[in-house]
Amino acid sequence: MKRKQLALAIAAATLMGSSSLALGHDAGDWIVRAGASVVDPKSNNNPIADVDSGSSLTVNFAYMLTDRWSVELLAAYPFEHDIDLKGTSIKIGETKHLPPTLSLQYHLNPTGAFQPYLGAGVNYTTFFSEKAVGPLEGLDLSVKDSWGLSLEVGVDFMLNDRWLINVDARYIEIETGAFLNGVGIGDVNINPMVYGVHVGYTF
């Protein structure tokens, strides 16, 4: 009886180990994650104005270099932001932006159902469709594009060997300048936290 129980225990342990390994990503795998993210700018981002938060659809593509290292590209549908007069709810402008971000990621637990990872990379943010409104209507508002660093922490919850649920948080360095009729109105240090929830597929 004891031998039979021991054999069953070994078989169960082997099966569990095989199932765990089946959940891992292998070198050469692609992971596509699609969902939504919120860009939450830091407070006091400009001497005379505040850039509000915005949300949009996001997608990222990760390529596994090894079972632990991957390269990821974040893309998005344009984020829209209102710009308020500092310390008030008076809207004085609006803008859209796209923040493509390329990151190198390290996966801490590549064979488990719970797979956390860390990432670092570079971000390019381009602003467009800037518009002055309210008390500044009629003036020409423009915001410069920016380059900056990005840091990331995330986790994949593996549903099976293909499908997953992903949550992540990023700090993105977005430091730019704003202009009215070509005259600078100060630096805009947005430097947001970006929070995302995605559904992913591995192939």
pLDDT at 6: 38
Nearest Cα residue to 174 out of 65, 68, 81: 81
β-strand partners of 147 = 124
pLDDT digits (tens, 9 = 90+) for 57-114: 999 999 999 999 999 999 999 999 999 988 888 999 999 999 999 999 999 999 999 9
Mean pLDDT of 139-159: 96
Q: Say how far apart CA 79 and CA 98 lie, in whole Å.
A: 6
Total-model pTM: 0.83
pLDDT of residue 60: 97
pLDDT in tens, 12-48: 433 444 344 457 788 999 999 999 999 999 888 787 8
CATH number for position 168: 2.40.160.20
Q: Which domain holds residue 15?
A: 2-202
Count structural domains, the chain: 1
pLDDT computed for residue 22 by the predictor: 57
